[in-house]
Structure 1
Amino acid sequence: MTVKDTAQTGGTGARQAQEKVVMDFSGFGTDVEVAAPPAADTVDMTDKVSGRSGTSSQTN
């Protein structure tokens, strides 16, 4: 992902950053009630992540 580094560039530049997401799953088989969030609370990132090239994914 590219983020604006306003603290070091005065708001004029961007640089690459890496992010690692760790998720722990538990409670399989437990009944739950869920509802989709309102559209105003969501963002479609499909184009952002599917257009990545030259990157690798790591699975632990």
Structure 2
Amino acid sequence: MSTTTPASARVPAVPAPLARPERCDRCGAAALVKVTLTTGGELHFCGHHARKHAARLLEIGAGLRSAL
């Protein structure tokens, strides 16, 4: 007697839904950088806006990291 389930009776695995990708808080493009503010908030920026605001964000002590 076989103890394995026949292939025809197996339920196919259902992949988890993809997480909604973050969007740039400034323009809505795909976010590449996640900014953590000292106040506890978070911002998401595309590459363009991350470069544009990076100097000031670092001045105020915000943490920047790749969102990928």
- TM-score category, normalised to shorter length: under 0.3
- Richer in strand (by share): 2
Larger Rg: 2
